[in-house]
Structure 1
Amino acid sequence: MKQFPKMRSAGQGLVLLAGLTLLGLAACSPPPETAPEESAESAPVDAVYDDPAMIENGREIAEMQCAFCHAIGAEGESPRTDAPPLRSVLADYDPDALADDFREGIHVGHKDMPDFDFGPIGTDSVLAYLISIQDEPAGG
């Protein structure tokens, strides 16, 4: 049977107890980055996708991550001829399915398209932006 070394002083025991207490308290509190995700999930879907701040955040993500290949605005041609403008992407993809694929890290698009990890809030922001710039359906 393995024996643990004895404490050398009462001060070491207090330090150990304080450390374990802090560790226990830290384990019980949610990490800071989960708080916004919980509030975004609890909001109605339309409210999240209609939020101007989410749309702007999604536009910034698209500008940094997508504009090399895709037209990211409501008009204009894509830099890559084989990359559809983002304003038409949801004609081929269900928004919820696309968001789920991004959240789960599933490869979306063609083989040359990189995998992205926008995180839950970033994914909702990108979807909000995509929804905001979609071409109107024919006759609509």
Structure 2
Amino acid sequence: MSKFSNEVLESIPQKPPFLFVDKVVSREEKKISTSFQVTGQEDFFKGHFPGNPIMPGVLLQEAAFQSGALLMASVGNGGLGVVAKVSNAKFKNFVKPGDLLEMDVELVEVVSNAYYMKAKSKVAGKVVMAIEFTCALVGDTNA
């Protein structure tokens, strides 16, 4: 049985092992909260870092981007969201095996095919990463 919810698997094109959202916790018109249970069995821990496993910052960003894609899927007209800009990324703490990573993403504005978002990722209520990013809606996910 997959640890990933059907909603996640059916709503965005990313699939395991490159999927860093297990489920949608809550959703509003312009906000989404998601989570990812970090098990320690993820392949990236084999090399980042042996003896002191830490989830890579780029994958924390990817988890936020995937959460943003879930939000785009609920407010958009379909298509593939690709990251076009990343700014103001701040890493405040580590994510380790056993942590429940929680992502809160807010849609700030939509201009044409550009979705401007901001995200905060937390573990045990403490912010581990904050980021602003823009995704462009392009083409069809089935193309």
Rg (Cα) greater in structure: 1
Class of the TM-score when normalised by the shorter of the 2 chains = under 0.3
TM-score when normalising by structure 2: 0.23
TM-score when normalising by structure 1: 0.23
